[in-house]
């Protein structure tokens, strides 16, 4: 758009107003018709352009965003220039100044109130010029009156000649008016006016020429504006490309941050796993130590126990051998004594006279004066008739206990493993049952023997283990009856029992009840049961005469706990039925039959004794049930004791003599030495037990070996875990050193940013923000050409345009980012250049260029881009060389990884913080090293933050002491020195 300045004198303006009224209401509104036509033409052209292409200034389409902003600037409304003619019309007598600027919008100032004598002018910012100002003395020479009156509507922008014609027509009108007046004076005035008109015409021609030049300039500027818009579009495209590139970089940064977060989470997991493994390692170590201690203690205790066991075993074996030797000698001596006494011992006992005999006045027919010597004398008619010698002779006054004392050795022999047979033989009613069974007040041999047996078992219980069982049977009428069978009634055989030969010289009765007895109460019950079941009847000789042979078989199983010797022995306690003279006892019927069977069996017993006495090869044991049962007791392998019961009644003297004779024969039998009944089955069992024990010992040895192998395996596992723990610790140290290096790199990048910012500030202070384009005069070809040259040059080289563009800072930032990308591919560039800013956080905000100020604070924990990492590594190496002496205090570089909270507050104080002393920085950074590390990324207008680590977990937290921090810092510094070469490669 071209500016027009016009000034008209008051007199001339009156004249023009007067003439202008002649044009009608549709005429040009300007006082000066030339100006009005030009202005109207320009306004019409602008209007057409506005209608066709929106806001337009000087025929240029304002499509660039910044120009749109200029058009929409509040400094000038879109219709301000439309109203300018009216404004000029209203203020025609006032001085008006108008300034237009593409950059700052169109500024319009009204100086009418101040009456500033300034010609209205149009100014352009950097590519506009100020037109030549019209002086107040400018005069217009009116042309001759127009011949053809042109309508204002016909005036257009291209009809300059028409304007001239219009002026000439006006002058002719005025001349005709003067002629009509006929005033001669008016001719002079006319001539004067004509001269003025000629002058004005010249001026008008000059003005036309100026207008043409202006038009040309206008067209030239129009092209320049189009080129500028084109350049702006290219810049916009370039900006968009840069923005896209920045966005891609931001995404890359975001991906890197995510990768870092995953990395740190993996590191955290590894830390947790390592802690767990450490705990397990500690537990296993403790268990292993405990096991080792236990093993040591166990081995020591085992050795002690084994030594003591060996000592005890030696002493035990010694004592045992001595005891066994003594016992053996004792048995041998005892057996020798018994053998000297005879294996068949005969005791003779005589009952006292009963009340009936005493009443009858009978006297004792047996003399016991030499009873102590085992001799008795049979008296006949008061004179000694015959003397018998037995092993013991008990008179009528001898009680049960005294008799049992004599037979105790036989009972002892039973527990020693010998078979013993004690039986009572004698005439009926002589006291056999009394001697064997006795009464409750005066128990007999059976009870006392069992009682003695249990007493001996109790005495020997530490050495021997015995098992005692009792069977009670009777031989009644040559039939064997089990008296312990429940429900058995006297004389009635419920079950037929037979004698079977179990071995050589060994007989047994299959199916016989064996009652296990453990104490005398049970023995008494068994004895009472058998006694009650025995067949007893009354005879003339005995009110309770036993009509059968009652036999108690006591089976004793013994085990020597010292040598494991087992014995199985039997004790026969036999109460024989009494022999009787049938004629004398006058029994009949069943009693007679019983007497005959009794006498027959006793006769068979006599035959056996006679055969044994005469050492006959054939011993008729099987002639009767009684001898058959007692075969193993009478055969020579056992010890036999016979009680021969006699009656003191002289009327029974013949039976007494018969019994004594029989007893004498029995006593005369020479039996061989008794044989111990060794239980071989127990020996076999013992051998089996010994073999089992050996196998168990072997199994225990194997278990001990397995335990030792397990312990060795645990030791090896512990060693492996130790090795794993060491590897994990090394990995953790490596990761920590990597973290440390990253922090230091971030700190270095921040330092670089700070330096760059300071440099940028200094450069900014030196160079003005915008050139004073408004100060250039309008129409200065020199400045316009310079401007044109600037436009034709590349934008990157055109430094004169940069300050005026509102996105110059964006360009700088985009160029910096491009520079980074180029540095990644060109190491030389990376080495030479210094990072202008941190790239870990990218902000793209074209409309807020002030945010890109170098003083803008950033987070110190931002992760640099890979290009920056490499560059920073080199930079840091350089710094390290330079500051080698102060390298020990390089921890301040690490401390720039600050927590977000501190960053929020520290960002505003960054300038002051950078000027702090190294000691202060070291203190602050040593604290912040333990804090949360956060990575923030700005992508566009969004911000991404990633937290790495946790407060207090990576270190001891803020609560840690200063010494601990310093120790940790020194340790990290050592690790950092160790890993600085390699880990930088890894990070890259
Ligand atoms: N030594 C003794 N002291 C006191 N009384 C006795 C003695 N010996 C036997 N008697 C009494 O003699 C009687 C007969 O005794 P016992 O029944 O024991 O004879 P027995 O030989 O068993 O007769 P049988 O052969 O007919 O059974 C019983 O009343 C018993 O009390």
Ligand 1: residue whose CA is nearest its atom 20: 429
Pocket test for ligand 1, best of 429, 435, 541 (most atoms within 8 A of CB): 429
Q: How confident is the model at residue 798 (pLDDT cuts 50, 70, 90)?
A: very low
CA of 481 to the centre of ligand 1 (A): 23
Mean pLDDT of 203-230: 93
- Of 961 and 546, the one with more pLDDT: 546
Instruction: Please report which residue ranges of 614-679 form alpha helices under DSSP H.
Output: 625-629, 631-634, 653-668
- Is 105 near ligand 1, meaning CB less than 6 Å away? no
Q: Which atom of ligand 1 is nearest to the CA of 424?
A: 21
**DSSP bridge pairs for 649:** 364
Ligand 1 and 400: CB distance under 6 A: no
Question: 504: pLDDT confidence band, cut at 50, 70 and 90?
Answer: low
Give ∠ CA 577-410-465 in degrees, rounded to 5.
115
| 427 annotated to a ligand binding site | yes
Distance CA 907, CA 530 (A): 118
* Residue 426 labeled ligand binder: yes
**The pLDDT value given to residue 137:** 52
Q: Is the pLDDT of residue 236 over 90?
A: yes
Q: Is 434 in the pocket of ligand 1 (CB under 6 A)?
A: yes
- Asked if residue 428 belongs to a known ligand binding site, the reply is yes
Evaluated on CA atoms 780, 786, 789, 793, the torsion sign reads negative
For the Cβ of 548 lying below 6 angstroms from any atom of ligand 1, the answer is no
Identify the sign of the CA torsion 721, 727, 733, 738.
Answer: negative
- Residue 382 annotated as lining a ligand binding site: no
545 Cβ inside 6 Å of ligand 1: yes
Could you tell me if the CB of 648 is within 6 A of ligand 1? Answer: no
Q: Whose CA is nearest to atom 9 of ligand 1?
A: 431
- Cβ atoms of 514 and 508 within 8 Å: the answer is no
**How does DSSP assign 92-160, residue by residue?**
TTS--EEEEETTTEEEEE--TTTT---------SSS--PPPPPPTT---PPPPPPSSPPPGGG--TT-H
Annotated binding residue 430: yes
Expressed in angstroms and rounded, the spacing between residue 11 Cα and the centre of ligand 1 is 197
Atom number of ligand 1 nearest to Cα 539: 26
CA of 547 to the centre of ligand 1 (A): 14
User: What is the reported pLDDT for 371?
Assistant: 83
Atom of ligand 1 nearest to the CA of 542: 26
Considering only CA atoms, which residue is closest to atom 12 of ligand 1? 431
Closest CA to 79 of 43, 52, 113, 112: 43
For the residues of 55-71, what is the DSSP string, one character each?
SEETTEE--SHHHHHHH
Q: Are strands 933-939 and 506-508 parallel, antiparallel or unpaired?
A: unpaired
432 lines ligand 1 (CB under 6 A): yes
CATH class of 342-669: alpha beta
Angle value at C-alpha 292, between 287 and 293, nearest 5 degrees: 100
Dump pLDDT digits (tens) for 138-194.
Answer: 454 445 554 444 444 444 444 445 444 444 545 555 555 555 656 778 888 888 888
| Residue 544 beta carbon below 6 angstroms from any ligand 1 atom | yes
What is the reported pLDDT for 245?
94
**Mean pLDDT value across residues 70-75:** 44
873 is in an annotated binding site: no
Round the CA-based radius of gyration of the chain to a whole number and report it: 75
Ligand 1 mutation pick, 347, 351, 358, max ligand atoms within 8 A of CB: 351
Instruction: Indicate the domain borders of the chain.
Output: 10-136+153-220, 342-669, 738-751+806-987
The interface pTM score, or ipTM, of the predicted complex is: 0.98
Choice among 414-418, 567-571, 683-687, 953-957 with the minimum mean pLDDT:
953-957
Q: Is the predicted pLDDT of residue 518 greater than 60, yes or no?
A: yes
Owner of token pair 């430094």: 799
User: CB of 743 closer than 6 A to ligand 1?
Assistant: no
Give 505 Cα–ligand 1 centroid separation in angstroms: 34
Output the pLDDT for position 316.
Answer: 82
pLDDT digits (tens, 9 = 90+) for 97-149: 444 444 444 444 444 444 444 444 444 444 444 444 445 554 544 455 544 44
Q: Is the pLDDT of residue 55 over 80?
A: no
pLDDT classification of 359: cutoffs 50, 70, 90? confident
Q: What is the pLDDT of residues 963-981, one digit of tens each?
A: 666 766 666 665 555 444 4
Ligand 1 atom at minimum distance from 428 CA: 25
């Amino acid at each position: 758009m071209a500016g027009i300045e016009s000034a008209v004198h008051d007199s001339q303006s009156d004249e023009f107003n007067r003439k202008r009224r002649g044009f009608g209401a549709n005429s040009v509104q300007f006082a000066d018709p030339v100006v009005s036509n030009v202005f109207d033409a320009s306004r019409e052209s602008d209007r057409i352009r506005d209608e066709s292409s929106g806001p337009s200034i000087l025929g240029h389409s304002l499509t660039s965003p910044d120009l749109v902003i200029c058009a929409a600037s509040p400094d000038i409304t879109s219709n301000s220039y439309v109203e300018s003619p009216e404004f000029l019309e209203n203020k025609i007598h006032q001085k008006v100044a108008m300034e237009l600027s593409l950059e700052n919008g169109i500024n319009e100032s009204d100086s009418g109130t101040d009456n500033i004598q300034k010609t209205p002018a149009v100014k352009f910012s950097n590519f506009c010029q100020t037109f030549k100002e019209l002086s107040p003395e400018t005069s217009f020479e009116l042309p001759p009156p127009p011949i053809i009156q042109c309508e204002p509507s016909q005036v257009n922008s291209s009809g300059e000649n028409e304007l001239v014609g219009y002026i000439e027509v006006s002058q002719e009108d005025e001349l005709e008016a003067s002629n009509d007046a006929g005033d001669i004076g008016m001719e002079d005035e006319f001539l004067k006016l004509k001269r003025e008109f000629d002058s004005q015409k010249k001026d008008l021609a000059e003005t036309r020429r100026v207008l043409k030049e202006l038009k040309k300039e206008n067209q030239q500027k129009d092209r320049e504006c189009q080129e500028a818009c084109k350049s702006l579009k290219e810049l916009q495209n370039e900006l968009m490309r840069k923005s896209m590139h920045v966005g891609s970089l931001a995404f890359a940064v975001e991906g890197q941050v995510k990768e870092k977060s995953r990395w740190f989470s993996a590191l955290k997991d590894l830390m947790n796993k390592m802690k767990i493994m450490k705990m397990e390692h500690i537990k296993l170590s403790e268990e292993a130590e405990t096991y080792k201690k236990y093993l040591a203690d166990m081995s020591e205790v085992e050795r002690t126990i084994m030594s003591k066991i060996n000592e005890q075993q030696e002493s035990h074996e010694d004592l045992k051998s001595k005891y066994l030797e003594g016992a053996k000698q004792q048995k041998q001596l005892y057996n020798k004594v018994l053998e000297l006494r005879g294996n068949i011992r005969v005791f003779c006992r005589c009952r006292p006279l009963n009340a009936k005999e005493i009443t009858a006045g009978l006297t004792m027919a047996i003399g016991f004066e030499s009873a102590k010597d085992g001799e008795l004398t049979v008296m006949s008619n008061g004179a000694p008739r015959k003397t018998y010698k037995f092993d013991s002779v008990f008179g009528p006054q001898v009680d049960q206990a005294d008799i049992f004392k004599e037979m105790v050795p036989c009972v002892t022999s039973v527990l020693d493993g010998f078979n013993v047979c004690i039986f009572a033989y004698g005439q009926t009613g002589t006291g056999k049952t009394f001697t064997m069974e006795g009464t409750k007040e005066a128990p007999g041999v059976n009870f006392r023997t069992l009682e003695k047996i249990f007493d001996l078992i109790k005495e020997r219980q530490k050495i021997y283990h015995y098992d005692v069982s009792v069977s009670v049977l009777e031989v009644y009428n040559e039939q064997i009856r089990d008296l312990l069978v429940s429900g058995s009634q006297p004389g009635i055989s419920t079950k037929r029992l037979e004698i079977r030969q179990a071995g050589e010289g060994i007989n047994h009765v299959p199916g016989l009840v064996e009652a296990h007895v453990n104490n005398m109460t049970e023995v008494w019950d068994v004895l009472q049961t058998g006694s009650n079941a025995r067949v007893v009847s009354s005879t003339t000789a005995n009110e309770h005469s036993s009509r059968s042979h009652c036999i108690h078989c006591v089976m004793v199983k013994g085990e020597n706990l010292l040598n494991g010797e087992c014995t199985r022995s039997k004790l026969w306690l036999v109460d024989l039925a009494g022999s009787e003279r049938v004629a004398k006892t006058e029994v009949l019927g069943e009693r007679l039959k019983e007497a005959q069977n009794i006498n027959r069996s006793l006769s068979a017993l006599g035959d056996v004794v006679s055969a044994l006495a005469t050492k006959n090869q054939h011993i008729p044991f099987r002639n009767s049930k009684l001898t058959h049962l007692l075969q193993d007791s009478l055969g020579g392998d056992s010890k036999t004791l016979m009680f021969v019961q006699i009656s003191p009644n002289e009327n029974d003297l013949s039976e007494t003599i018969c019994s004594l004779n029989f007893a004498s024969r029995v006593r005369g039998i020479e039996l061989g030495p008794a044989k111990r009944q060794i239980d071989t089955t127990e020996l076999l069992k013992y051998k089996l037990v010994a073999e089992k024990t050996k196998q168990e010992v072997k199994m225990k040895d194997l278990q001990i070996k397995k335990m030792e192998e397990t312990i060795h395996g645990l030791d090896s596992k512990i060693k492996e875990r130790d090795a794993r723990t060491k590897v994990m610790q090394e990995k953790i140290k490596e990761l920590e050193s990597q973290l440390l290096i990253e922090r230091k790199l971030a700190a270095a990048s921040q330092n670089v940013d700070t330096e760059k910012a300071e440099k940028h500030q200094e450069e900014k202070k030196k160079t003005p923000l915008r050139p004073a384009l408004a100060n250039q005069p309008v129409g200065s070809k020199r400045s316009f050409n310079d401007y044109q040259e600037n436009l034709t040059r590349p934008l990157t080289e055109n430094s004169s345009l940069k300050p005026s563009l509102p996105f110059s800072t964006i360009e700088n930032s985009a160029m910096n980012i491009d520079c980074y990308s180029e540095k990644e591919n060109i190491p030389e560039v990376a080495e030479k250049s210094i990072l202008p800013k941190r790239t870990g956080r990218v902000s793209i905000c074209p409309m807020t260029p002030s945010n890109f100020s170098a003083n803008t604070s950033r987070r110190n924990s931002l992760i640099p881009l890979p290009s920056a990492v490499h560059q920073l590594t080199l930079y840091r190496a350089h710094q390290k060389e330079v500051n080698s002496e102060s390298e020990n205090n390089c921890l301040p570089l690490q401390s720039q990884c600050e927590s977000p909270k501190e960053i929020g507050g520290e960002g505003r104080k960054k300038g002051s913080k950078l000027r702090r002393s190294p000691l202060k920085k070291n203190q602050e950074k040593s604290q912040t090293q333990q804090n949360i590390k956060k990575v923030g990324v700005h992508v566009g207008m969004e911000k991404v933050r990633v937290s790495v680590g946790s407060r207090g977990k990576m270190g001891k937290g803020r609560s840690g002491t200063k010494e601990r921090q310093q120790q940790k810092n020194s340790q990290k510094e050592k690790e950092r020195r160790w890993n600085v070469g390699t880990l930088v490669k890894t990070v890259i």
